[in-house]
Chain A
Amino acid sequence: MQLDLKKLPFGQYMSRHLLFEEADPMGRGWDKGLYLALAAGSNSMFGGFGLRSAGFIRLTPLAGGKEVAGTAEADPSQAVIRCKGGCIRMAIDGPAILLKGENAGLKLLVKLGRGETVTRTKLGYELVMGANRYIIALKKGKADLQVGWDLEGLSSTDPIITLEPEDGVMEAVFWDTDATYAMPEAAADVDAAAAKARAAFEAFRATLRGKDELNAYVFWLGFMACRGGKLVIANKIGNIQANAMEQALSALAFKDAGAALDLISDTLRLMTPGGIVPAWVKGEQILPEAPPPLWGLALCRVFAGGGIDAVDKDKLAEGYALLTKAVDWWLKNRSLSDGSFFYAYAHESGWDGVPVLPFGQGAVTPDLAVWMALNAGALEAMAKKLGLQDEAANWAALMQKQLGVLASLWKDGKFACRSALTGEEVPCPVGIGLLPLLLGDAAPGADALRAKAEKAERLPKEQAGLIALECPALAGKLIAAGAAQPGTLSGGAYRPVLSALLLALEERS
């Protein structure tokens, strides 16, 4: 599989290194060309996504010391820049990106923001970009740095680094590190790094429900270290938030129960002391607002049919404790005396811009009742497996209560939403009203909902993907359309979560 570097970056699971071709699809006047980038908060230093290319090192091949035209191609394991008479191969090994030029070198035009610097140190050329330290270390060949200084901008100006071969060979390692300068041992060379990447990608694919290679790559690429866990980033090149809702949706792609639980547990570990799962995490920053609690959705699916039996008991116990705490937050902060749960804010539903009630009033909605029913179902299964029979019974009761809430919202063949403050009821938005399908036949009016789902149009992609899990006809349509996946860089942006949903839908279509 060849990657179109204008649409998808060359990168790796758990690595922040990226290589892509800036095509300036929106016509914003950005310099086109091949760039290195980091999936780091420092992207915003360069103007942020949508304002300026996220690439911070523009690569131009050198032959005989002169700039020459080149072409780039990549697969999930390595990238190659070809130019007249030579080539440069690149492969990623975690925080290191290894390069080998044969009869070719590279000119690196570095773009730095205010307060950012590049100097030569004993480690190599060191780019100081906020908390990031990007080290360009030459192993073979010769190198040079040209740079100026902006006294009041406190920044290096127009840095150019050249890496050129000696005796026909240039080898270098670019390190993504921080103030600790941690640089673990990397693969010995480009070939070793590429082989390692290839094996890792194939091992990852084996855990997935779907087989589509491109979606698998996009999903694989999306993972990044995040506060001690491995989470799926919204888009490494433009938006490095790990959205909580997207983790829950992404977990649907796994057929392996342990892998799904790992992703859910890594998300739940981000909980505040009080039990709010942050809506997103980006580096050190969190958004401490509640996302929709759809943790149980993927878990119920992987636990079914004996899937739970394959999960390590300690892992299961930890996941159970985490999910219990997350559900407790909703019980303490978002429940009413009649046993129903409510969203205090529209954004808590995860469907931005979908007002369900007048501003300032909480809303009891069918999707929330579904999520809580599924959480209760997953917790019941986990409690039984852990031998906690009393707790399992409590969770079963909570599930029944939510089915009752759903029934109370089913009015005249469709769902309503109810004010948590006044009890006033309003019609439910179409997509939200179809989500109870995820309970299968337990949903009120299941058959009618399926019929509606097949005809539903203009739903948000994630919503459509969820509904399609219980509507094979819709799943087929979405897969055929590819859900507009992947998009183009800089403009539309690829989305790992959509790839995950498509992988989940493969077996449903």
Chain B
Amino acid sequence: MFGTGEKFDLTHAVYCREGSAFFLIENWYSHLLQLSSYKPGAWMDSNAFLFSLLASDGQRQLDYTYHGDPGSITLTTMKGQIEIIFTYNEYARVISHDGLSLSLRADPYKPQTHLNAAGACHGACTLPDGTTEVTYGTYGKLRFRPLKGKVELEWGFDAKGTMNALSIKMVPDESGELDFAIHEAMIEFESLPETYPDPAELRQDGFDRYESFVNRVYLPPAKGYETLYKYATHTSWARRTKPGAGGIYEHPMMLMHYEYLGEAFAWQQSYHAMSMLNDPEEAWRMICVLFDHQNPVTGQLPGNVGFLTRNAGIQPPIQGFALDWLIDKCGDSFLTEEECARMFPKFAKWVEFWVTYRSAGRGDDVTMIDSPNDSGWDDATIFKDGFPTINPDLMAFMIDLLEMTGRLAEGCGKKEEAASYKARSQQLLQTLLDEFWDGDKFVTLHNGKPVDSLSIASYQPILLGKRLPQKIIDRIAEQLTEEGNFLTDIGLASESLRSTDVNYGTSTFVHGRVVAPVQLFMCAGLNLAGKKKEAAMIARRFCNVSQEKGCILGFPPLTDKYAATGKPIYIAPGPVASDGWPWSGWNSCNCLTLMTCIIPEGENA
């Protein structure tokens, strides 16, 4: 799937697989493959736990090409091949039959020359059991176990005693056979296995898990998106974490990235759920998975879950909307009485967090926020006046969350609670319509005053679908399908093209770029509101650009001049083969929903 000369190489994507912490990238500058692990949560441009892969025949370094698939990645040199198999367990296997060596050279990631990767190495030691351990402090540890061959260490120290060079060379045995298991751990190694599976078995496991997951979980794509489907399903699957393994994941979660944000972000779990329409039980599990980490005192869900830590931040309460979507598309047979009884208290606690700690103080369920993360619309112009704000986008989520909490109560026989939550949902919907719709959009309030904004966030309540009056649905659909307003050739811009307060730079998020989650909200909302053809039209535009450029979170709608001001657009290049944004599971799940549901439904409507 990813290889030298293929549609996407590893300057675009990372090579990774379900359940393994390891990943490989092709360095944008040196073109060497580099190995690391997502578990430390380090950013690639400041990652000290990064090793360049050097192949050699014992005498000289050899250039290589590479090809990776779900089973393994093979490096091909003029003298032979080296295969690296990432496994579902906490090790990778390195194999060659051609007398080749493979070195892992700790290397500063250019151009961040201030960073000395080897300087983060706390030491290497060959232990009495014949394994060689390398420790990188809080970044983790590696243990090289030679099954055939041996390890040679090379190192250097500067005048202050700081290590400034480290190379771990895996050398073949006398018969030219190289076979290593490279174990990784963040904390400590458990006992190493007595024996290892045959490489063919490990390789096949990657294919089997990928195919079985995709076939079980996802619907087939709309015609024309087979290539995007292949990359999107692999991107999602490969970001699926393994529970346990010394970390805090109790169940599989989905990482956003490997090489930048190597954590399972809160609301992205529900986005993934929305794409899993061939397996509603798995989709429901994904909606619930974040509740493994719910604060038992406040009810808060973490902003993200890393291998070892939970982020104390917060992301919006999308779970009700995701469940509403799932029921609309799959029915509710997965909501057994047991499941409702299990999840109702957790949903209720999550509701109480919002109405307790984010109350607008009006005596109802209207929420007020102090931070953009709480709404997910980080740098959208709805926040240009600052905080606190009352957000219609968040109110829409709350309306769904209240209703779905009532649905769970109903499902486990709690009739009074069910009626109460549903009444609160209705009341909040009425408040949203009465106080926040200005005839064109839903307005955000800052200190009680409307914020003058051309952000598409103002239309997010479309996700309430047919709960909205038809005239509002029609007016929103009209504006979202108007060329040159929000609609561009590649999907919906997060800020109107008519806005003068806009920035397409790579350090921005929803300050104008066309980003995947915006397409998901608007298209899913239009779909639920009965505007299925309009939704499909928008979805096609975004899927087209994703198929062409990869599973990247977002794209600038323009690259030369801003439409409203004529000012030049500056977008920094590299260090990945996009305009700076890496591949992301947040794109892949959104594209999967668009191409497996919204486009087919729109075109069959």
The interface of chain A, by Cβ under 8 A from chain B, is 115, 117, 119-122, 126, 128, 130-131, 147-149, 151-152, 154, 156, 178-182, 272-274, 276, 284-289, 336, 344-347, 352-353, 355, 359-362, 420-421
Contacts and interface: CB of A to CB of B under 8 A. Distances in A.
A181 B297 CA distance: 10
B137 A289 contact: yes
B125 A154 contact: no
A344 B161 contact: no
Contact of A181 (B161, B186, B298, B381): B298
B127 A362 contact: yes
A355 B189 CA distance: 25
Interface in B278-335: 295, 297-298, 300, 308-309, 312-313
B357 interface: yes
**Which of A126, A179, A353 has the largest number of chain B CB atoms within 10 A?**
A179
A424 to B, nearest CB: 14
Given A289-B135, A362-B125, A421-B126, A119 B387 contact: yes
B125 A287 contact: no
B508 A287 contact: no
Contact of B379 (A119, A152, A156, A182): A152
Interface in B372-406: 372-373, 378-379, 381, 383-388
B371 interface: yes
Contact of B378 (A154, A336, A359, A362): A154
B309 A285 contact: yes
Contacts of A149: 383-387
Contacts of B361: 122
A154 B372 contact: yes
Nearest to A333: B127
Given A346-B123, A421-B126, A131 B312 contact: yes
Contacts of A287: 137-138
Interface in B516-557: none
Interface of B is mostly: loop
B290 to A, nearest CB: 15
A385 B126 CA distance: 40
B482 interface: no
Given A154-B379, A359-B123, 16 more contacts: A121-B370, A121-B388, A131-B312, A151-B379, A151-B384, A152-B511, A276-B187, A288-B187, A289-B135, A344-B125, A345-B125, A347-B122, A353-B160, A353-B161, A360-B153, A421-B126
B446 to A, nearest CB: 9
A287 B122 CA distance: 11
**What are the nearest 5 A-B pairs in CB distance?**
A149-B386, A345-B123, A131-B312, A119-B370, A344-B125
Interface in B115-162: 122-128, 132-133, 135, 137-138, 141, 153, 155, 160-161
A126 B378 CA distance: 19
13 contacts: A117-B370, A120-B388, A121-B370, A128-B370, A154-B379, A179-B298, A181-B357, A284-B308, A287-B138, A289-B137, A346-B123, A347-B122, A420-B128
Contacts of A181: 298, 357
Given A119-B388, A353-B161, A180 B125 contact: no
A360 B124 contact: yes
Contacts of B141: 288
B371 A274 contact: no
Contacts of B378: 154
A131 B312 CA distance: 5
B507 interface: yes
**Which of A119, A122, A421 has the largest number of chain B CB atoms within 10 A?**
A119
Contacts of A346: 123
Contact of B300 (A179, A289, A344, A353): A179
B386 A156 contact: yes
Interface of B: 122-128, 132-133, 135, 137-138, 141, 153, 155, 160-161, 186-190, 295, 297-298, 300, 308-309, 312-313, 357, 361, 370-373, 378-379, 381, 383-388, 503, 507-508, 511
B122 A345 contact: yes
B124 A178 contact: no
Contacts of A285: 138, 309
A91 B370 CA distance: 30
A289 B122 contact: yes
B529 to A, nearest CB: 30
B381 A151 contact: yes
Contact of B155 (A154, A274, A359, A420): A359
Contacts of A180: 295, 297-298
A360 B135 contact: no
B221 to A, nearest CB: 35
A431 B126 CA distance: 26
Nearest to B188: A274
Nearest to A346: B123
A179 B370 CA distance: 13
Nearest to B378: A154
B125 A126 contact: no
A276 B126 contact: no
Contact of B295 (A156, A179, A352): A179
Given A154-B379, A272-B187, A344 B123 contact: yes
Nearest to B370: A119
Nearest to B357: A181
A178 B302 CA distance: 13
A181 B353 CA distance: 12
A117 B373 CA distance: 11
A283 to B, nearest CB: 9
B475 to A, nearest CB: 27
Nearest to A148: B386
A353 B137 CA distance: 16
Nearest to B446: A149
A152 B508 contact: yes
B312 A130 contact: yes
Contact of B312 (A121, A178, A288): A178
A115 B132 CA distance: 41
A317 to B, nearest CB: 26
Contacts of B153: 359-360
Given A130-B312, A272-B188, A360-B153, A117 B383 contact: no
Nearest to A132: B312
A288 B186 CA distance: 8
Contacts of B308: 284
Contacts of B189: 274
A428 B82 CA distance: 43
